[in-house]
Amino acid sequence: MSEAVEPVERGAVEIHLGDNLVVAAGLADGSFTLIYLDPPFNTGRVQGKAVETAQSRTADGPPGRRGFHGREYERLRGDLRTYDDRFDDYWGFLEPRLVEAWRLLADDGTLYVHLDYREAHYAKVLMDALFGRERFLNELIWAYDYGAKTRRRWPTKHDTILVYVKDPDRYWFDSDAVDREPYMAPGLVTAEKAARGKLPTDVWWHTIVPTTGREKTGYPTQKPEGILRRIVQASSRPGDRVLDFFAGSGTTGAVASALGRDAVLVDANPEAVEVMRRRMPHAEVID
Protein backbone atom coordinates (compact mmCIF):
# COMPACT_ATOMS: atom_id res chain seq x y z
CA MET A 1 0.00 0.00 0.00
CA SER A 2 3.04 2.20 0.37
CA GLU A 3 3.38 4.99 -2.16
CA ALA A 4 7.10 5.22 -1.37
CA VAL A 5 9.27 5.05 -4.46
CA GLU A 6 12.44 2.99 -4.24
CA PRO A 7 15.35 5.40 -4.76
CA VAL A 8 16.13 4.97 -8.45
CA GLU A 9 17.90 7.25 -10.85
CA ARG A 10 15.43 9.29 -12.92
CA GLY A 11 14.98 8.00 -16.46
CA ALA A 12 15.63 10.10 -19.56
CA VAL A 13 12.64 11.54 -21.45
CA GLU A 14 12.38 12.42 -25.14
CA ILE A 15 9.37 14.44 -26.32
CA HIS A 16 8.45 14.60 -30.01
CA LEU A 17 5.97 17.02 -31.59
CA GLY A 18 4.35 15.41 -34.61
CA ASP A 19 1.98 12.83 -36.01
CA ASN A 20 2.72 9.61 -34.19
CA LEU A 21 2.67 7.54 -37.38
CA VAL A 22 5.46 9.65 -38.81
CA VAL A 23 7.53 9.73 -35.60
CA ALA A 24 7.02 5.99 -34.99
CA ALA A 25 8.41 5.21 -38.43
CA GLY A 26 11.79 6.50 -37.20
CA LEU A 27 11.90 4.23 -34.13
CA ALA A 28 13.59 0.82 -34.15
CA ASP A 29 11.73 -2.52 -34.17
CA GLY A 30 11.32 -4.15 -30.77
CA SER A 31 12.85 -1.24 -28.87
CA PHE A 32 10.21 -0.74 -26.13
CA THR A 33 9.29 -3.02 -23.22
CA LEU A 34 6.12 -1.11 -22.47
CA ILE A 35 3.82 0.85 -24.77
CA TYR A 36 0.80 2.66 -23.36
CA LEU A 37 -1.65 4.25 -25.79
CA ASP A 38 -4.54 6.51 -24.82
CA PRO A 39 -5.99 7.56 -28.18
CA PRO A 40 -8.77 10.10 -28.57
CA PHE A 41 -12.09 8.34 -28.02
CA ASN A 42 -14.08 7.72 -31.19
CA THR A 43 -13.03 10.99 -32.69
CA GLY A 44 -10.75 9.48 -35.29
CA ARG A 45 -12.29 11.47 -38.08
CA VAL A 46 -11.93 14.85 -36.39
CA GLN A 47 -8.65 14.29 -34.57
CA GLY A 48 -7.19 12.12 -37.29
CA LYS A 49 -7.88 14.65 -40.01
CA ALA A 50 -6.63 17.47 -37.80
CA VAL A 51 -3.19 15.90 -37.52
CA GLU A 52 -3.16 13.88 -40.71
CA THR A 53 -0.17 14.20 -42.98
CA ALA A 54 0.49 12.88 -46.44
CA GLN A 55 2.29 9.94 -44.86
CA SER A 56 -0.52 9.02 -42.49
CA ARG A 57 -3.11 9.21 -45.26
CA THR A 58 -1.32 6.54 -47.20
CA ALA A 59 -0.93 4.36 -44.13
CA ASP A 60 -4.35 2.78 -43.85
CA GLY A 61 -2.53 -0.33 -42.76
CA PRO A 62 -0.15 -2.16 -45.02
CA PRO A 63 -1.97 -2.99 -48.27
CA GLY A 64 -3.35 -6.49 -48.23
CA ARG A 65 -2.59 -6.88 -44.54
CA ARG A 66 -4.45 -9.88 -43.24
CA GLY A 67 -3.70 -9.78 -39.52
CA PHE A 68 -3.05 -12.81 -37.45
CA HIS A 69 -5.96 -14.83 -38.70
CA GLY A 70 -5.59 -14.10 -42.38
CA ARG A 71 -8.83 -13.88 -44.30
CA GLU A 72 -11.00 -13.98 -41.21
CA TYR A 73 -9.57 -10.62 -40.26
CA GLU A 74 -10.57 -9.07 -43.57
CA ARG A 75 -14.08 -10.45 -43.22
CA LEU A 76 -14.29 -9.19 -39.67
CA ARG A 77 -13.37 -5.69 -40.69
CA GLY A 78 -15.90 -5.78 -43.49
CA ASP A 79 -18.63 -7.00 -41.16
CA LEU A 80 -17.94 -4.36 -38.58
CA ARG A 81 -17.85 -1.67 -41.22
CA THR A 82 -21.36 -2.49 -42.35
CA TYR A 83 -22.48 -2.76 -38.75
CA ASP A 84 -21.31 0.71 -37.77
CA ASP A 85 -19.67 3.16 -40.14
CA ARG A 86 -18.31 5.26 -37.27
CA PHE A 87 -16.20 2.24 -36.54
CA ASP A 88 -14.56 2.45 -39.93
CA ASP A 89 -13.48 6.04 -39.30
CA TYR A 90 -12.11 5.23 -35.91
CA TRP A 91 -10.38 2.02 -36.83
CA GLY A 92 -9.03 3.48 -40.05
CA PHE A 93 -7.19 5.97 -37.85
CA LEU A 94 -6.19 3.62 -35.07
CA GLU A 95 -5.27 0.42 -36.87
CA PRO A 96 -2.06 1.57 -38.60
CA ARG A 97 -0.92 3.07 -35.30
CA LEU A 98 -1.54 -0.19 -33.45
CA VAL A 99 0.35 -2.07 -36.14
CA GLU A 100 3.28 0.32 -35.60
CA ALA A 101 3.08 -0.13 -31.82
CA TRP A 102 3.25 -3.89 -32.29
CA ARG A 103 6.35 -3.54 -34.44
CA LEU A 104 8.04 -1.38 -31.79
CA LEU A 105 7.23 -3.76 -28.92
CA ALA A 106 10.11 -5.90 -27.58
CA ASP A 107 9.76 -9.69 -27.40
CA ASP A 108 9.09 -9.43 -23.65
CA GLY A 109 6.96 -6.33 -24.13
CA THR A 110 3.39 -5.38 -23.23
CA LEU A 111 0.94 -3.07 -24.99
CA TYR A 112 -1.77 -1.24 -23.00
CA VAL A 113 -4.58 0.43 -25.00
CA HIS A 114 -6.85 2.75 -23.01
CA LEU A 115 -10.39 2.98 -24.44
CA ASP A 116 -13.83 4.03 -23.37
CA TYR A 117 -16.85 1.76 -23.04
CA ARG A 118 -18.15 2.61 -26.51
CA GLU A 119 -14.99 1.44 -28.29
CA ALA A 120 -13.54 -1.27 -26.10
CA HIS A 121 -15.57 -4.14 -27.54
CA TYR A 122 -14.83 -3.40 -31.15
CA ALA A 123 -11.19 -2.87 -30.28
CA LYS A 124 -10.97 -6.19 -28.41
CA VAL A 125 -12.34 -8.17 -31.34
CA LEU A 126 -10.10 -6.43 -33.83
CA MET A 127 -6.94 -6.54 -31.74
CA ASP A 128 -7.52 -10.27 -31.19
CA ALA A 129 -7.64 -10.62 -34.95
CA LEU A 130 -4.65 -8.35 -35.51
CA PHE A 131 -2.28 -9.64 -32.80
CA GLY A 132 -3.68 -13.09 -31.97
CA ARG A 133 -6.16 -13.93 -29.27
CA GLU A 134 -3.55 -15.83 -27.26
CA ARG A 135 -1.60 -12.59 -26.86
CA PHE A 136 -4.48 -10.96 -25.00
CA LEU A 137 -3.53 -10.71 -21.32
CA ASN A 138 -6.16 -8.63 -19.53
CA GLU A 139 -9.10 -6.31 -19.72
CA LEU A 140 -8.53 -3.72 -16.99
CA ILE A 141 -11.45 -1.68 -15.73
CA TRP A 142 -10.58 1.70 -14.25
CA ALA A 143 -13.61 2.73 -12.19
CA TYR A 144 -14.03 6.24 -10.82
CA ASP A 145 -16.90 8.10 -9.25
CA TYR A 146 -16.87 11.74 -10.07
CA GLY A 147 -19.10 14.32 -11.73
CA ALA A 148 -22.77 14.45 -12.67
CA LYS A 149 -24.81 11.24 -12.85
CA THR A 150 -27.64 10.64 -15.28
CA ARG A 151 -30.90 9.21 -13.93
CA ARG A 152 -31.85 7.73 -17.32
CA ARG A 153 -29.47 4.75 -17.17
CA TRP A 154 -26.61 3.44 -15.06
CA PRO A 155 -24.12 6.30 -14.98
CA THR A 156 -21.01 5.31 -16.93
CA LYS A 157 -18.00 5.79 -14.73
CA HIS A 158 -15.30 3.52 -16.06
CA ASP A 159 -12.66 3.23 -18.78
CA THR A 160 -11.30 0.00 -20.23
CA ILE A 161 -7.63 -0.78 -20.78
CA LEU A 162 -6.90 -3.75 -23.05
CA VAL A 163 -3.55 -5.46 -22.51
CA TYR A 164 -1.67 -7.56 -25.09
CA VAL A 165 1.76 -9.20 -24.80
CA LYS A 166 4.11 -9.74 -27.69
CA ASP A 167 4.99 -13.26 -26.57
CA PRO A 168 2.84 -15.10 -23.98
CA ASP A 169 5.88 -17.19 -22.95
CA ARG A 170 8.32 -14.33 -22.48
CA TYR A 171 6.51 -11.18 -21.38
CA TRP A 172 7.72 -9.28 -18.30
CA PHE A 173 5.21 -8.97 -15.45
CA ASP A 174 6.25 -8.30 -11.85
CA SER A 175 3.31 -8.29 -9.45
CA ASP A 176 5.68 -7.86 -6.48
CA ALA A 177 6.72 -4.45 -7.78
CA VAL A 178 3.13 -3.13 -7.78
CA ASP A 179 1.85 -0.90 -4.93
CA ARG A 180 -0.68 -2.90 -2.94
CA GLU A 181 -4.12 -1.61 -1.93
CA PRO A 182 -6.33 -1.96 1.16
CA TYR A 183 -8.54 -5.06 1.49
CA MET A 184 -12.25 -4.25 1.12
CA ALA A 185 -12.99 -6.39 4.18
CA PRO A 186 -9.76 -6.30 6.24
CA GLY A 187 -11.56 -8.10 9.10
CA LEU A 188 -11.68 -11.28 6.96
CA VAL A 189 -7.89 -11.61 6.66
CA THR A 190 -5.07 -11.80 9.21
CA ALA A 191 -3.76 -8.55 10.66
CA GLU A 192 -0.48 -9.21 8.87
CA LYS A 193 -2.21 -9.55 5.50
CA ALA A 194 -4.37 -6.50 6.16
CA ALA A 195 -1.27 -4.44 6.96
CA ARG A 196 0.47 -5.60 3.78
CA GLY A 197 -2.56 -4.86 1.61
CA LYS A 198 -3.75 -6.86 -1.37
CA LEU A 199 -2.56 -7.15 -4.91
CA PRO A 200 -4.82 -5.12 -7.21
CA THR A 201 -7.10 -7.19 -9.45
CA ASP A 202 -8.23 -6.28 -12.96
CA VAL A 203 -10.72 -3.74 -11.55
CA TRP A 204 -9.01 -0.56 -10.40
CA TRP A 205 -10.91 1.94 -8.28
CA HIS A 206 -8.99 5.16 -8.62
CA THR A 207 -9.93 8.84 -8.49
CA ILE A 208 -9.65 11.00 -11.58
CA VAL A 209 -6.86 13.60 -11.55
CA PRO A 210 -7.71 15.87 -8.60
CA THR A 211 -8.98 19.28 -9.73
CA THR A 212 -6.33 20.93 -7.56
CA GLY A 213 -2.93 19.75 -6.47
CA ARG A 214 0.54 18.86 -7.68
CA GLU A 215 -0.55 16.43 -10.35
CA LYS A 216 -2.97 18.64 -12.26
CA THR A 217 -1.55 20.10 -15.49
CA GLY A 218 -4.77 21.55 -16.93
CA TYR A 219 -4.60 19.27 -20.00
CA PRO A 220 -8.20 18.13 -20.57
CA THR A 221 -7.71 14.36 -20.98
CA GLN A 222 -4.94 13.92 -18.41
CA LYS A 223 -4.90 10.48 -16.75
CA PRO A 224 -3.98 9.93 -13.09
CA GLU A 225 -0.40 9.05 -12.23
CA GLY A 226 -1.67 6.24 -9.97
CA ILE A 227 -3.06 4.34 -12.97
CA LEU A 228 0.16 4.67 -14.97
CA ARG A 229 2.25 3.85 -11.93
CA ARG A 230 0.73 0.38 -11.67
CA ILE A 231 1.21 -0.25 -15.35
CA VAL A 232 4.84 0.89 -15.36
CA GLN A 233 5.68 -1.00 -12.15
CA ALA A 234 4.20 -4.28 -13.37
CA SER A 235 5.25 -4.31 -17.01
CA SER A 236 8.74 -2.78 -17.09
CA ARG A 237 12.01 -2.71 -15.15
CA PRO A 238 14.24 0.25 -14.26
CA GLY A 239 16.32 1.02 -17.34
CA ASP A 240 13.67 -0.27 -19.78
CA ARG A 241 12.24 1.96 -22.51
CA VAL A 242 8.60 3.07 -22.39
CA LEU A 243 6.65 4.61 -25.28
CA ASP A 244 3.46 6.69 -25.32
CA PHE A 245 2.65 8.16 -28.71
CA PHE A 246 -0.67 9.72 -27.70
CA ALA A 247 1.15 11.38 -24.82
CA GLY A 248 -1.08 14.40 -24.02
CA SER A 249 0.14 15.91 -20.74
CA GLY A 250 2.88 13.25 -20.51
CA THR A 251 1.61 11.24 -17.53
CA THR A 252 3.30 8.07 -18.81
CA GLY A 253 6.65 9.81 -19.16
CA ALA A 254 6.46 11.56 -15.78
CA VAL A 255 5.74 8.27 -14.02
CA ALA A 256 8.18 6.17 -16.04
CA SER A 257 11.02 8.64 -15.51
CA ALA A 258 10.36 8.84 -11.74
CA LEU A 259 10.54 5.05 -11.65
CA GLY A 260 13.87 4.97 -13.51
CA ARG A 261 12.61 4.01 -16.98
CA ASP A 262 13.49 5.95 -20.14
CA ALA A 263 10.47 7.35 -21.97
CA VAL A 264 9.68 8.44 -25.51
CA LEU A 265 6.58 10.64 -25.77
CA VAL A 266 4.85 11.86 -28.92
CA ASP A 267 1.94 14.26 -29.44
CA ALA A 268 0.70 16.15 -32.47
CA ASN A 269 -0.65 19.02 -30.40
CA PRO A 270 1.85 21.82 -29.62
CA GLU A 271 -0.10 22.63 -26.42
CA ALA A 272 0.48 19.08 -25.19
CA VAL A 273 4.20 19.43 -25.86
CA GLU A 274 4.25 22.72 -23.93
CA VAL A 275 2.51 21.06 -20.97
CA MET A 276 5.00 18.16 -21.10
CA ARG A 277 7.95 20.54 -21.31
CA ARG A 278 6.78 22.26 -18.11
CA ARG A 279 5.99 18.97 -16.38
CA MET A 280 9.36 17.36 -17.23
CA PRO A 281 11.98 20.11 -17.40
CA HIS A 282 14.66 17.42 -17.70
CA ALA A 283 13.21 16.16 -21.01
CA GLU A 284 14.77 16.62 -24.42
CA VAL A 285 12.20 18.15 -26.80
CA ILE A 286 12.41 17.33 -30.51
CA ASP A 287 10.07 19.43 -32.66
Ligand X SMILES: C[S@@+](CC[C@H](N)C(=O)[O-])C[C@H]1O[C@@H](n2cnc3c(N)ncnc32)[C@H](O)[C@@H]1O
Positions in the binding site for ligand X (CB under 6 A) = 19-20, 38-40, 47, 51, 219, 221-223, 246, 248-249, 251, 266-269, 272
Min CB(206)–ligand X separation in Å: 13
Q: Which is nearer to ligand X, 87 or 219 (CB)?
A: 219
- Residue in the shown chain whose Cβ atom is closest to ligand X: 248
Min CB(69)–ligand X separation in Å: 27
Three-class SS string for 82-122? HHCHHHHHHHHHHHHHHHHHHHHEEEEEEEEEEEECCCHHH
Q: Which is nearer to ligand X, 67 or 248 (CB)?
A: 248
Beta bridge partners of 182: none
Burial of 57: CB neighbours in 10 Å, binned 0-12, 13-18, 19+: exposed
Min CB(101)–ligand X separation in Å: 12
Q: Which is nearer to ligand X, 105 or 268 (CB)?
A: 268
Q: Which is nearer to ligand X, 256 or 272 (CB)?
A: 272
Q: Which is nearer to ligand X, 223 or 241 (CB)?
A: 223
Q: Which is nearer to ligand X, 40 or 61 (CB)?
A: 40
Spatial CB neighbours of 259, under 8 Å, sequence gap ≥ 6 = 5, 8, 11, 229, 232, 233, 236, 238
How far is it, in rounded angstroms, from Cα 21 to Cα 42?
18
Min CB(284)–ligand X separation in Å: 18
Beta bridge partners of 129: none
Min CB(252)–ligand X separation in Å: 7
Min CB(244)–ligand X separation in Å: 7
Residue 164, SS3 per DSSP: strand
Burial of 85: CB neighbours in 10 Å, binned 0-12, 13-18, 19+: exposed
Query: Helix crossing, 251-258 with 225-235: angle to 10°?
Result: 50
